[in-house]
A and B are shown apart, each in its own frame.
Chain A
Amino acid sequence: MLMDVDLSGFVREGDDGARRIDFAIDGMTCAACIPEIENALKKIPGVAQARVNYSNSRLALGWKNDELDPAVAVEKLRVMGYVAHPFELAEAESRDAEQARYLMRCLAVAGFAAMNVMLLSVSVWAGNISDITPETRDMFHWVSALIALPAAAFAGRPFFTSALGALRRRSLNMDVPISLGITLALGMSVVETARHAPAAYFDSALMLIFFLLCGRYLEQAMRQRTRAVAGNVAALRSPLATRIAADGALVQTPTARIEAGDLVLVRPGERAPVDGRVVSGASEVDESIVTGETAHRRIGVGDEIYAGVMNFSGALQVRARAAGAGGFLDEIERLLEGAASARSRYVGIAERASKIYAPVVHLTALATAAGWLLLGASVHDAVVTAIAVLIITCPCALALAVPAVHVVTSGALFRSGVLLNGGHAVERLAEVDTIVFDKTGTLTLPEPRVANADEFPADLVEIAARLARSSRHPLARALAQQSPAGAPYDDAREEAGAGVAATVEDVEARVGSAAFCGVDPGDIAASGASTICFRHGAAVAVFEVHQALRPDAVDVLSTLRAQGYSVEIISGDSQAATEAVAKRLGIADWRGGARPSDKVARLETLKAQGRKTLMVGDGFNDAPALAAAYVSLSPVTAADVAQAAADAVFLGDRLAPVRRALEVSRLARKLMRENLTIAVVYNAIAVPLAIAGHVTPLIAAIAMSGSSLIVTLNALRAGRDAVIERADAADRDVRDLRGPTVSDERSGSRSRAAA
């Protein structure tokens, strides 16, 4: 069936008729894809620009006026084996990119100024112990001031604005002592230069700005990279929905463009793109992503259907509805509102440190000035010494201690397939002592798998899998997974609601329902699992399809328990189904048939017992629990609401990233504490020197850059043993979503060459 694709909502119009659309591209496995895609698209008449961004797997396509229908490009890419998803740059992402460019400009200016001033400072230091004339020294100082003052005014803005913001809110953050230190260092240097003094602190102020901006920029760049991948994943996850236009025509429309009241067609094997009410058709649906329940439900006209629900047997017409107008949705939303507020009260380790640090530093400086005055020093000397204390305690190392670890840690997590949603998740993950798993879609794979394939000869299974490839039915798709590379048969024909048939080795092969394959229904064991039958001549097979555990679930859970975590399962699925999984994983503590409110209640109980709980879940029904938990993770296949409520999302078919996230976070917390200790030790040595009045600009430069470097190098240890968790072949589909930046096979040959 040929259908129109409506991409108009994603096209951006520029000056003089220039149009542009952005796509997230799935299937770019190596750099050779860049020219292949660009050259192929440039051959399409009307294309003015086709530029692939390989770092984040995106494509920008430009043309003029109405010279091109972007759907043509999508089709061309599809034929070549790439999937292009229209993409709208999220506001948060473009804001991040803008902020990163701003920090980079500041960093460039600070770097330039610091280098040139240091050149002059080294001359002065060398001259002071040899034969520099006071006139030359003054000139050098004035040149330094000429460079340093405008540079600091430009490059220091990120700190000044943040400090002013904090002061306006009548609170203190790390940027307050930083800004104060920079301003005083520059001010005092200008005054000292005017007095022909032999020392000035221009270089210290600029170096401080430079180091701190490095930390800020890297943090921003890491956040931007994570957000880009998360944006791609979101685009790839949201497929086109089939909208039924007023004249009855079927139009492929991006899900985001479906509005309340639109009529949508959901065919068997598709997931419902939106929440709505069935207006025609009847079917069986798998609602496990919503309720966690694996048993199928029969639905018909007038029934509610939720986004993400898998349609099994019949085509449905659904009237889309605005979010939050139904019973179950309302319950989730109400629970979410209650749960989200608790989380925001968490205060990160860096904030706690700065709350103590700033007042202590300022009081020390004040006490120094007062002390020297009492001892009979001149006002000038007392003030200069006090300012030296402020400069030396300007929390360079302290301000880098925690962010540097954050950057390295989120990089390590990124490489093992964990995308952090918000700040502080690492610190909270490190404190976890209890882990609560959802069952369906979290411990088990989101898609069902064939359970008994090894009971039949391999060649038989191969034929069945290739035949099943021609059907979109969910059971057939599970069967097709048995031969991931198998090509479908050319003469395969599907009989709606029955199965697929084709001639294989001169004998007809059939896959489908028991009646279609001529299998006696009595032969099918009443195990409760869904079955799909296969006949090839006289050979017959009955495949059982059900939810399979993630390949490493048993391993990961036993490791977690061995590491001392208390692990439990709480599922919306039936008691029997939950018990079976709990038994296989050896978990004694499980609850089945839990409503979303039961899950939240359980987490509250654990919290009241003083436990710090990690919730891992994927369903719509898990969202409130994910928000209520101390910290939460969800798989990339999770419902949108669940992903939004979770602190981090993990990619792939395996549970290993959960274990990895906990390990990396614990290491990160250890390093943060070490770094804070280093910063304190540095101050314990430097501050008495400054109070005694022995700090020269040279000592300040060495001490400040030295402590910053030690702290940064220590932070790098968090990423040192980051191992890329290798995923098996079944994992490939999800792995492609990660894009080439994290794929470990970028230099490999194109696996799709056969296509």
Chain B
Amino acid sequence: MTILLFLVPIALMLGLTGLAAFVWSLRAGQYEDLDGAASRVLFDDDVDAQQR
């Protein structure tokens, strides 16, 4: 069962990474405009910029 000594900390670290990523995205304001974000992905203004 010594494998648990590795697996439990690894599982916890993975979980904490996810938590940190979520808190970061919250701080960065990524949840401020959910409706807008859903539509923005469809705009192709970046494509225009490359073609120009």
Contacts and interface: CB of A to CB of B under 8 A. Distances in A.
Interface of A: 31, 34-35, 39, 52-56, 101, 104-105, 108-109, 112, 115-116, 119-120, 133, 136, 139, 143, 147, 740-741
Nearest to A112: B19
8 contacts: A31-B35, A31-B38, A34-B39, A52-B36, A54-B36, A55-B36, A116-B12, A147-B12
Contacts of B47: none
Contacts of A101: 26
B47 to A, nearest CB: 12
Nearest to A139: B4
A55 B33 contact: yes
B45 A105 contact: no
A140 B46 CA distance: 51
Nearest to A53: B33
Given A34-B40, A105-B23, A139-B4, A112 B16 contact: yes
A637 B18 CA distance: 47
Given A54-B33, A112-B19, A133-B1, A34 B12 contact: no
Nearest to B40: A34
Given A34-B40, A35-B45, A108-B23, A55 B35 contact: yes
A136 B33 contact: no
Contacts of B22: 108
At the interface, is chain A mostly helix, strand, loop or mixed? helix
Nearest to B38: A31
A120 B22 CA distance: 23
Contact of A105 (B26, B34, B40): B26
A39 B19 contact: no
Contacts of A52: 36
Interface residues of B, number: 24
B1 A136 contact: yes
Given A56-B33, A108-B23, 18 more contacts: A31-B35, A31-B39, A34-B36, A34-B40, A34-B43, A39-B45, A52-B36, A54-B33, A54-B36, A54-B39, A55-B33, A55-B35, A104-B26, A108-B19, A108-B22, A116-B11, A120-B8, A139-B4
Nearest to B22: A108
A55 B1 CA distance: 51
Contacts of A35: 43, 45
Contacts of B23: 105, 108
Contacts of B39: 31, 34, 54
A740 B33 CA distance: 12
A31 B34 CA distance: 12
B33 A108 contact: no
B3 to A, nearest CB: 11
B1 A119 contact: no
Which are the 5 A-B pairs with shortest beta-carbon distances?
A54-B36, A31-B39, A55-B35, A53-B33, A112-B19
A136 B4 contact: yes
Contacts of B4: 136, 139
Nearest to A39: B45
